[in-house]
Amino acid sequence: MKVAVIGAGGYAGGELLRLLTQHPEVTECVAVSRSQSGRLLADVHPALAACGDASFLDATPGEAARGRDAVFLALEHGESSRLADEIFAAEPGLVVDLAADFRGHSRFVYGLADVCGASLRGARAIAVPGCFATAAALALYPLARARLAAAPALYAITGSSGAGAGPKPTTHHPARAHNVFAYGVLGHRHDAEITEQWRRWTGRDEPAPRLVAHAGPFVRGIYLTLHARLEQGGDVAASYNAMYAGRPFVRVRATPPELTHAVGTNDALLSATATEDGRELQVSVAIDNLIKGAAGQAVQGMNLALGLEETAGLRLSGMYPC
């Protein structure tokens, strides 16, 4: 199977290359980056030292996409939509976009693999969910049919790698080390995505969960906490075990997960705890933002779309301590 990664110079692109070059069904993987053309992969992504003298291809997106079974777009938001016509004209078997450009677009299937996996089989274009939206959706989905007293509240903290490889004032080490701050307040980029999925699942045009995102003093991972009040008591927490039973990358635990246990894996670690009367619920989710929140979920979507084993190339051991 031949694949290409366009926009392979960033963190998500590097993770895609790491996963795809070790994927048992991938025989050829090319990397395209406008800013890194001609450089060795290992010089840009040190984790790819095993790739030897492989370098970034000097090619247009259309040239890179031609004859490929799958093409991954790891571009900045807005770039995928600009290049889409050129890439689709090359007729690759599958296009997987990691940016926000096509989430909710009729041509693309929403790639929340652990919930919408059946809809991805045979897909020709997949829009990978955002990293915060992935964690939020996994916490919210089992609550879609519950009778809630109010919209759930979502609080999440992310590592600096979520902002991309390009340095910014808010990702500069002195700004992040020993520091925590909220951002995107009452208007985070992923709010609309979370709202769209929640209303689709509930079938109700009601107030949706609001995300409060925080920047944390670490590099990788997202830790999200959901708090919900229910109109009626019940064993809602047990519904999480039932909902995700058999899903290979969602691990429901009895106690809240630790972030470092998820780093380096495609797993979502999740716990759901209710009060004794069952009317108050707290859900915690830990994921690696670059794998489950980006590259890993993209590869999982490819596996499903192309009829491969869903777990192919994704049985990853984590890093602890990290």
| Cβ count near 280 (within 10 Å) | 16
Q: What angle do CA 265, 266, 271 make, to 5 degrees?
A: 90
Helix, coil or strand: residue 238: helix
Are 277 and 233 within 8 A, CB to CB?
yes
Active site residue 131: yes
From 29, 51, 116, 131, the catalytic residue: 131
Q: Where are the alpha helices (DSSP H) in 121-206?
A: 131-140, 173-176, 191-202
Minimal CA–CA distance to 192: which of 110, 103, 295, 131?
103
Cα 271 to the center of its chain, rounded Å = 19
Are 114 and 249 within 8 A, CB to CB?
yes
Which sequence positions are flagged as catalytic?
131
